[in-house]
Amino acid sequence: MAEAKAYAAYNATDPLAPFNLDRREVGEHDVQIAIRYCGVCHSDLHQVRNEWGGTMYPLVPGHEIVGTVTKVGSKVTKFKEGDLAGVGCFVDSCRTCPSCQEGLEQYCEKGMVGTYNGTERDGTTKTYGGYSSQIVVDENYTLKVPENLDLSRVAPLLCAGITTYSPIMQWKIGQGHKVGIVGLGGLGHMAVKIAAAKGADVTVLSTSPDKEKDARDLGAHNFAVSKDKETVKSLYNTFDFIINTVSAPHDYNLFLSMLKRDGTMILLGAPPEPSPVAGFSLIGKRRRLAGSLIGGIAETQEMLDFCSEHNIMSDVEVINMDEINTAYDRMMRSDVKYRFVIDMETL
């Protein structure tokens, strides 16, 4: 066992604080990674505060992990010491179900093994995330990180990047499509960058008029204030796709009305309460309402390679480890452009 330093939540209400944990020994197919940066996802906050239920304390969050390989198992073929490597939202799956066999491990029928707040396949060993000095992961669930990108800005690609890339690829969104992006936060700003790089005509749909400059700087071609009734009316039957990244309660029907016939709205955000959908919002124009969850290992690697080729990275604010509680408070106020990333050398 190797001792690692970390920051953990000990309960749902107290601030995160220092914590020591033991990582497993490096097995035949494992890589050990010294973590250099870890992104801060809004789901970290949900888990820390047990807002989704089932949080196992002490909890070490973090599933946007990048670092350097420091040790490899005897049968590892994909990595060597000194390589840059990344770990996303899960670190294992059953490997045998249809979804796993198709490279869609995120939909594993037996449940993927979360990078944190989960248990290893033995059913008892807890998983701890990336707010820590190092991690040990099977090479088949580890990503190769491109060397031409700013490592701190790569970290959020392992959640925000793949969460937006996967539906864009699934629905083959690109040249000739009009795409609306609802929300301009951690997910939304990556959706703008990736959809624009794929050749789509991108419109950001936001309740905040002051986000227009940012939206255009990120690559959006158009901007619309979704709480302006006349603007909404002018956008009826406009979009081939809408990528909805908002997790706060809002009116799905408003955005469904903006889809063309046979258009699709893809949900990436999950509001805490069910959102009513009027039947005729779908029926009248044969519209579709769909959802998408991160991506499999192969697709995540594909996303990283695509971002490397197109110089796409997340816009981040790098913080020290002891600033995490302040970052959580700011994140609740949407006071970040667009992702906090922890410099793990400050741990």
How would you list the strands of the sheet with 259-267, edge to edge?
222-225, 201-206, 178-182, 239-244, 259-267, 288-291
Give me the number of domains the chain comprises.
2
Tell me, yes or no, whether 229 and 261 share the same domain: yes
Q: What pLDDT band is residue 162 in, cutting at 50, 70 and 90?
A: very high
Mean pLDDT of 161-185: 97
Spatial distance between the Cα atoms of 61 and 327, rounded to a whole number of angstroms: 14
Tell me, yes or no, whether 30 and 154 share the same domain: yes
Tell me, yes or no, whether 276 and 335 share the same domain: no
pLDDT at 111 over 80: yes
Mean pLDDT of 124-132: 96
pLDDT at 2 over 90: no
Tell me, yes or no, whether 151 and 167 share the same domain: no
Tell me, yes or no, whether 11 and 127 share the same domain: yes
Tell me, yes or no, whether 148 and 166 share the same domain: no
pLDDT at 113 over 80: yes
**CA 262 → CA 107, 112, 225, 247, distances in Å?**
26, 32, 24, 24
In-domain check, residue 54: yes
Tell me, yes or no, whether 137 and 170 share the same domain: no
pLDDT at 272: 79
pLDDT digits (tens, 9 = 90+) for 269-294: 988 788 999 999 999 999 999 999 99
In-domain check, residue 244: yes
pLDDT at 52: 87
Whichever domain contains 271, its CATH number is: 3.40.50.720
In-domain check, residue 297: no
Tell me, yes or no, whether 153 and 179 share the same domain: no
Tell me, yes or no, whether 109 and 174 share the same domain: no
Whichever domain contains 131, its CATH number is: 3.90.180.10
Percent of the chain's residues with pLDDT above 90: 95
Tell me, yes or no, whether 242 and 171 share the same domain: yes
Percent of the chain's residues with pLDDT above 70: 100
In-domain check, residue 308: no
Tell me, yes or no, whether 6 and 150 share the same domain: yes
In-domain check, residue 309: no
In-domain check, residue 174: yes
pLDDT at 1 over 80: no
* Helix axes 186-197 and 160-170, enclosed angle (nearest 10): 40
Mean pLDDT of 143-147: 97
pLDDT at 261: 98
| Amino acid symbol at 18 | P
In-domain check, residue 181: yes
Domain span including residue 47: 2-159+315-346
**142 close to 132: Cβ distance less than 8 angstroms:** no
Tell me, yes or no, whether 54 and 85 share the same domain: yes
In-domain check, residue 35: yes
